[in-house]
Chain A
Amino acid sequence: MTTILGIETSCDETAAAVVIDGTDVRSNVIASQVELHSKYGGVVPEIASRAHIERLDAVIEEAMAKAGIGLGDVEAIAVTNRPGLAGALLIGVTAAKTLSWVLGKPLIAVDHIHAHAHSPAIGLDAPPWPAIALIVSGGHTSLYRVDAPHAIERIGSTLDDAAGEAFDKVATILNLPYPGGPQIERIAKRGDPSAIGFPRTMLGRDSLDFSFSGIKTAVMYHVHGQGKTEGGLEKLTSADVADVAAGFQAAVIDVLVRKTLRAVGRTGLCTVVLGGGVAANMTLRKALEDACTHRHLTFHAAETAYCTDNAAMIAALAYHQLARGETAGLDLDAYASSGKAARGTTRG
């Protein structure tokens, strides 16, 4: 039995979790900064970094208390060290290094996006791999082929805007509060998804990549008028706005589902998993589940608690890294980008 403490501070959320053997989540604590950010309409990095510093100790203590363990029971410390805001990542990395050194326990560096791709496996009796993983969030929209926790290969991703970013920007166009994703989904329930035929950008028959920049622009011109960049919203009734939200959401989901099925066709895999912040969108979950059921594919969506940024997914993936002996040294750095470190991304 291996007890791992996970720490995540890559962007908006300060999170810590205790997970046993990679799948038994004993605690999953998230101090969300959404309230702090909502009045600004987005992430405020200065506040984000300061809030991570102020909250991390308490969040770790709460994760330990909820799991009913003490520091002496922790067998390894896992931390997100890429990708994200360098300054924010560094706060979690520094805390994890300190704990690792003080406790004399291994340190494990986890890629945030890989952890999202692996998150649908948490809580399952048997691993779902090999599978196609669709990961959708504000900063990322990607398809992965996951053969095992250590074999995660990106096979498609957005060429411009992430799907979650499109949700947020369309919410801005419709003058809805931040965060925009849940607002669009709420309003779309009252709208007719087929009232407005927004474009589905498929990028050719073979592509597994995404493009959501065009639909954002299409919504803008639908609301503001052709070639205009403001005004027009006052002319729409609330029913019109609901139709815009529903039509936009339907177009995005349609592309996400069709590309995922294309990846299934390409690879011949029989399982689809869904993760990332936008996976909390119930309309998307249901659409993908229905499409998979129709084609006799197995489907698993990450539990909503593991969709938004969280530390349980960090500790869960770290278990498999630890089993393979993939531990980090106390010289561990934080990197803004996934993969190999780009120049100038480390801090401290």
Chain B
Amino acid sequence: MNTQRSALNRESRSPTETFDLGVGLGRSLVGGMSIGLIGPLGAGKTQFVKGIASGNAAPDSVRVTSPTFTLVQEYAGRLHLYHVDVYRLGGSAELVALGFDEFFTSDAAVVIEWADRVRDALPLDSLWVELRPTGETTRHLSFEPCGNSAHTCLEAFARSID
């Protein structure tokens, strides 16, 4: 019997609402899972990750900033969280060359900005979140789970916001 949810869609009317959706997802994170974020410049990807880190119970000292230049940042919390940004990378081979594929085999959670650029380097079991601008501050968020931990996380997330 397959009762698993295939996808979830939510509208955000502001950066604050994008943050709040991230908080919900952060509370539902499952160890070892990866989240691939898709969306253009200014879609609110880093804002969403701020929410995820907060929902994951990051201590106050944790500061979530764009890893575009630093490529990866790590945040403490309920689960260890890797925040990766592949904006400056040429493709999947470079993610592997950096050793970032190690993150996927740890019990930490991994969230990747611009993940569509390294699609084949992500584990098959990943939650894909697309942030699509629909207006100046409004965004359409679609959550698409592939695999068990992504489904488990999204089920918990859906229950918490329904």
Contact = CB atoms under 8 A, between A and B. Distances in A.
Interface string B50-94: 000000000000010110111111101000100000011110011
A221 B68 contact: no
Contact of B134 (A173, A227, A347): A227
A162 B73 CA distance: 14
Nearest to A172: B41
Contacts of A327: none
A46 interface: yes
B11 to A, nearest CB: 14
A86 B80 contact: no
A42 B89 contact: yes
Main secondary structure of the interface of B (DSSP, over half): loop
Interface in A45-97: 45-46, 49, 83-87
A99 to B, nearest CB: 25
A227 B73 contact: no
A162 B66 contact: yes
B108 to A, nearest CB: 8
A162 B69 contact: yes
Interface of A: 11, 40-46, 49, 83-87, 137-139, 157-162, 164-165, 168-169, 172-173, 213, 216-217, 220-221, 226-230, 336-337, 342-345, 347
A226 B134 CA distance: 9
A336 B74 contact: yes
Nearest to B42: A217
Interface in B12-68: 40-43, 46-47, 63, 65-66, 68
Nearest to A228: B133
5 interchain residue pairs of minimum CB distance: A42-B88, A139-B69, A217-B42, A46-B97, A229-B40
A72 B72 CA distance: 39
Contacts of A40: 90
A344 B63 contact: no
Given A161-B65, A221-B136, A229-B42, A45 B94 contact: yes
Contacts of A343: 74, 80, 108
Interface in B89-120: 89-90, 93-94, 97-99, 102-103, 106, 108
Counting contact residues on chain B (CB < 8 A from A), the size range is 35 or more
28 contacts: A11-B69, A42-B88, A43-B71, A45-B89, A45-B98, A46-B93, A46-B97, A86-B99, A138-B69, A159-B63, A162-B65, A162-B69, A165-B66, A165-B68, A165-B69, A168-B68, A213-B47, A216-B42, A217-B41, A220-B41, A220-B42, A226-B136, A227-B133, A227-B134, A343-B74, A343-B108, A344-B103, A345-B74
A45 B70 CA distance: 11
Contacts of B133: 227-229
A44 B63 contact: no
Given A162-B65, A227-B135, 13 more contacts: A45-B71, A157-B63, A157-B65, A161-B65, A161-B66, A169-B68, A216-B42, A226-B135, A227-B138, A229-B133, A336-B70, A337-B73, A337-B74
A345 B108 CA distance: 13
B41 A85 contact: no
Contacts of A342: 74, 76
A138 B108 CA distance: 27
Nearest to B103: A344
B65 A159 contact: yes
